[in-house]
Amino acid sequence: MNIEDFRTYCLSLKGVEEGLPFGDETLVFKVGKKIFALTHLSLFTSVNLKCDPEKAVELRERYPAVIPGYHMNKKHWNTVLIDGSIPDRMLKEWTKQSYDLVVETLSKKIKQELEEFE
């Protein structure tokens, strides 16, 4: 997967916004103003994704390309190395799970607004 495919996938999810709040090279994807994915814009060698704490540990044990979240809360975030060992469909699945985890934490009002997106 390349950065454009990843970006297109993230933006296909309801209510997603992208930005560069940490500088010109860190691309951040948010839903309801909360981050669910971030990556280096020009290198795209890894992506940070939110993860259920138990599943985060399981993924780290199972896949060498999944490590504790770089510069993130390591209990809730994984860094997935984009080295070709993780299939695109799996990266998309984990990205959607990250998105869903964040959506679960949003207020009822924001969740309702998300439902209005087409």
Q: Is residue 100 included in any domain, yes or no? A: yes
- Determine the pLDDT at residue 118: 61
Q: What's the domain count of the chain?
A: 1
User: Does 117 map to a domain?
Assistant: no
Domain with residue 87: its CATH number is 3.90.1150.30
Per cent of the chain over pLDDT 90 is 90
Backbone dihedral angles phi then psi of residue 26, each to the nearest 5 degrees = -105, 105
Single pTM value for the model: 0.94
Tell me which residue of 98, 101, 59 sits closest to 81, measured CA to CA.
59
Residue 103 lies in a domain: yes
Residue 72 sits in which domain range?
3-112
Predicted confidence band of residue 28 (pLDDT cuts 50, 70, 90)? very high
Radius of gyration of the chain (CA): 14
12 confidence band (pLDDT: 50, 70, 90): very high
Give a yes or no: residue 52 inside a domain: yes
Q: What is the per-residue burial (b if ≥16 Cβ within 10 Å, else e) of 21-54?
A: eeeeeebbbbbbeebbbbbebeebebbbbbbeee
**Crossing angle, helix 3-12 and helix 88-105, to 10 degrees?**
40
Q: In terms of Cα–Cα distance, which of 118, 66, 95 is closest to 5? A: 95
Q: What tokens does 39 get? A: 């990556």
At 114 the pLDDT is 87
58-116 pLDDT, tens per residue?
999 999 999 999 889 999 999 999 999 999 999 999 999 999 999 999 999 999 888 88
pLDDT digits (tens, 9 = 90+) for 30-44: 999 999 999 999 999
